[in-house]
Structure 1
């Protein structure tokens, strides 16, 4: 490859850009992934924009649950846009080069959006916990100021805690190799090319994962365990069914999100033997949730389906029939 670096002498050369090779082991076939990736991005962009427009236009959706869903849709758009266009450019146009600032910016954006998604899932779990376990106090607790404070706290927490990841990566010396066997600027993939010690980088990556995603995951499942316990105490079968139906769409997305994180983390340990698996799962974990989230909510939430019909002008047609 013409852009690949050939010099090994670290005293004479410093890397000025990285080369993203794509999916390891299948470079000659990887262009076939371009169409599904582009389609997933179009679906994610269109579906999440539809969710935002619907929630904005329909007054009956101006409720905390749907406001958090709107924030999740905005985060999903940001996550997909940060990653997918570059992947498609690599697969379609062989645009594999990325500058160091561009690479470190992508590392920051991906980590921030993924941590933000975890934080919004926690906010949604707390919202459902208060609504089901303390229904009489719900209007007094989950107010508009509460939503604003919860969202801002997630933005500040994730934005600030993620800053050291690209900063520490940028402080490393890259003096020999610049080819990354990945579609994205993965932090672990980038720092593995460094010529100096990366112990601090690996340690902070682990701390960030456990402090943010780990703590969120524990609190989310504690919230839903409390919800299940409260629901099972209800004597009304109809009330139990309604409560579980309200939480089911949230729980499906949350289980998918955190299960994918665990699988990606485990497969990274076997990355040297099967390098394609962690890369493919990492990409799917970034692309699939933004496409899946609005679809699950559309299927599971009647109010949102009615809002979609109104946006497309179908409600009048259905009522006339």
Structure 2
């Protein structure tokens, strides 16, 4: 990843401490980290491979699943390898430019993942509420365009954060009590006025997630209204069942995000290692369970994955 240009003359590196208070257990902590990472990579790459190879899966829903898999791979890969370097080899140093780049990438991909989840909710709305127009409204080309819009939104919204921080003077104490360069942790390293950074990050977190959650809630309110009009109970349950995978994935991602964000900003009485563990779970758990949820709940995908596994 290319580093951001810095206006400060002091380019001394930051020091990522890992999980303060649990240094003696870093080796043991690295075991679940590495296991979750490997399982997440395997599951998401398997999903991408199967969707890419099977012509019958070249549909809007599976393109969205592929986008979700790419965001999961991106976020976990940006966090876990550096964390393992800290745990295994005590390689705690990271340049200021590298730190800002990691921070930008992590937050951008997280916002991109939120946009994918919103698009998935819209996909379910069209499939259930106006199924006869599904093929004309949600084409593969349109899904790709929506994905590009989500990517551009994420980049434009998050770009100001590292650019503003790159102009800040950083204190001599450059120790970051974390496994990665989280925005608020880097802000605390600055000796200048970081009011703009703090306000902007907080507003973006709640405006973006608030907007996305509102769109998801609107989609599902329309879905529920349409489902309640179905006279057949069996058809009603079948329609709702098509949404369960997306609901599970969405609840996992947004719940972990809010726990991590709120405890970091407002949980002053919570011990630091709890903050850090919660923040890491946000990047570790979804990449593992998302492919499992969709592999189990989506029959067509499940059958294709099983076919490839048994073929090997």
Residue 19 of structure 1 aligns to a residue whose secondary structure is: strand
Q: Report how far residue 291 of structure 1 moved.
A: 1.0
Q: Once structures 1 and 2 are overlaid, which stretch shifts more, 135-144 or 121-130?
A: 135-144
- The alpha-carbon deviation at position 231 of structure 1 amounts to 0.9
1:266 & 1:78 partners in 2: Cα distance?
23
Which of 20, 23, 26 lines up with 1:30 in the alignment?
26
**Equivalent position to 2:121, from 97, 122, 125:** 125
* Residue equivalent to 2:3: none
CA distance in 1 between partners of 2:89 and 2:164 (Å): 31
The answer to whether the aligner puts 1:299 opposite 2:296 as a matched pair is: yes
Task: Work out whether residues 271 and 277 of structure 1, in 8 Å CA contact, stay in contact via their aligned partners in 2.
Answer: no
CA distance in 2: counterparts of 1:34 and 1:14, whole angstroms? 32
Using the size of structure 1 for normalisation, the TM-score is: 0.91
Q: Answer yes or no: is 1:177 the counterpart of 2:153.
A: no
The equivalences for 1:159-308 within 5 A come to 159-268=155-264, 269-271=266-268, 273-308=270-305
Match for residue 56 of structure 1 among 27, 52, 68: 52
CA deviation after TM superposition for structure 1 residue 56, in Å: 1.0
Q: Which stretches in structure 1 are left out of the alignment for 5+ residues?
A: 1-12, 316-321
Query: After alignment, is 47-56 or 270-279 more displaced?
Result: 270-279
When normalised by structure 2's length, the TM-score is: 0.94
CA deviation after TM superposition for structure 1 residue 228, in Å: 1.5
C-alpha distance in structure 2 between counterparts of 1:63 and 1:37, whole Å: 33
1:4 corresponds to which residue? Answer: none
* Deviation for aligned residue 1:15: 5.4
Tell me the distance in 1 between the aligned counterparts of 2:254 and 2:105. 19
Deviations 1:98-119 (A, max 9, x none): 1111100100110011111100
Cα pair distance change 1:280/1:214, threshold 3 Å: same
Find out whether 1:44 has 2:44 as its counterpart. no
Q: Deviations over 1:246-271 (max 9, x none)?
A: 10000001011111122112212114
For residues 77 and 60 of structure 2, the distance between their equivalents in structure 1, rounded to whole angstroms, comes to 26
- TM-superposed CA distance for 1:222, in Å, is 1.7
Cα deviation for residue 245 of structure 1 reads 1.2
Determine the C-alpha separation between the residues in 1 that align with 2:300 and 2:233. Answer: 22
Instruction: Report the secondary structure of 1:137's partner residue.
Output: helix
Give the Cα–Cα distance (whole angstroms) in 1 for the partners of residues 268 and 86 of structure 2.
22
1:263-284 per-residue CA deviation (whole Å, 9 max, x = no partner) reads: 1122121145421222111110
Retained in 2: the 8 A contact 1:20–1:182? Answer: yes
Supply the RMSD in Å over aligned alpha carbons.
1.5
Match of 1:151 in 2: 147
Q: Counterparts of 1:66-81 in structure 2 under 5 Å? A: 66-81=62-77
| Runs of 4+, deviation exceeding 4 Å | none
Structure 2: runs of 5 or more not aligned: 1-8
Structure 2 counterpart SS, 1:29: helix
**What is the CA distance between 1:313 and its match in structure 2?**
4.1
Aligned-pair CA distance for 1:298 = 1.0
Q: Between Structure 1 and Structure 2, whose CA radius of gyration is higher?
A: 1
